[in-house]
Amino acid sequence: MSHEGIRYVSKEEQARESEENRPLPRIAITPGKVRVLLSEGKGLEIDWVDGHRSAWSFAWLRDACPCATCVEERKNEGRKIGQARPKSAELLPMYKPAAKPASAQAVGRYALQFNWLDGHSAGIYSWEYLRRNCQCPECTFAASETEGAPN
Ligand SMILES: [Zn+2]
Ligand SMILES: [Zn+2]
């Protein structure tokens, strides 16, 4: 009985791992309300139909750009989705304003696209991609628990 807690945790982890590859239920990737806080420069907020609320900063979104070029860049530099480039890795360290889009638009019914002020706009942020990378404390805690596995 005293080991009940330990067994519970490992079962949780197993469940979570298999869950990562499982398709998300439709209500989890259907946005009810989407707010792009452009004028505030804050970021993106989505209320999902399943009741979950997600928020991402623009800086995070820029570093999570899902286009092929950015995915390749992150892979080469060993950065995770949304992880900023370390300052020391920059050739010319200088002040850079925080990433911000000039505008954002829906792509069909499944995604959002940002036109970043740095001229980049190739990334298509699908609802599923966003939900899978939810940055709310609950989801980031769950993700940090499963980190450490290679790849
Ligand atoms: Zn990109
Ligand atoms: Zn979340």
- Minimal CA–CA distance to 55: which of 83, 75, 34, 72? 34
Token pair belonging to 49: 């139909």
**Six token digits for residue 122:** 């190739």
Question: Ligand 1 centroid vs 148 CA: distance in angstroms?
Answer: 25
Ligand found nearest the CA of 114: 1
For range 50-54, the mean pLDDT = 97
Say how far apart CA 48 and CA 50 lie, in whole Å: 5
Q: If you average pLDDT over every residue of the chain, what do you get?
A: 86
Collect residues with CB below 5 Å from ion ligand 2. Answer: 134, 136, 139
* Ligand 2 mean position, distance from CA 88 (Å): 31
Phi then psi for residue 61, to 5 deg, are: -60, -40
Res 97: pLDDT: 75
Q: How far apart are the CA of 8 and the centre of ligand 1, in A? A: 40
**Tokens at 146, concatenated:** 């499963």
Closest CA to 44 of 144, 134, 139: 134
For 112, other C-beta atoms within 10 Å of its C-beta total: 22
Ligand closest to the CA atom of residue 118: 1
The alpha carbon of 70 and the centre of ligand 1 are apart by a number of angstroms equal to: 4
What separation in Å is there between the alpha carbon of 134 and the centre of ligand 2? 5
Residue-wise pLDDT for 89-117, tens only, equals 566 666 777 899 999 999 999 999 999 99
Q: What 3-state class would DSSP assign to 35?
A: strand
Closest ligand (CA of 123): 1
Please tell me the number of the ligand nearest to residue 66's CA: 1
In this structure, are residues 123 and 115 in contact, taking their beta carbons and an 8 Å threshold? no
The reported pTM is: 0.79
Question: Two tokens at 81?
Answer: 């989705």
- Whether the per-residue pLDDT at 125 is higher than 70: the answer is yes
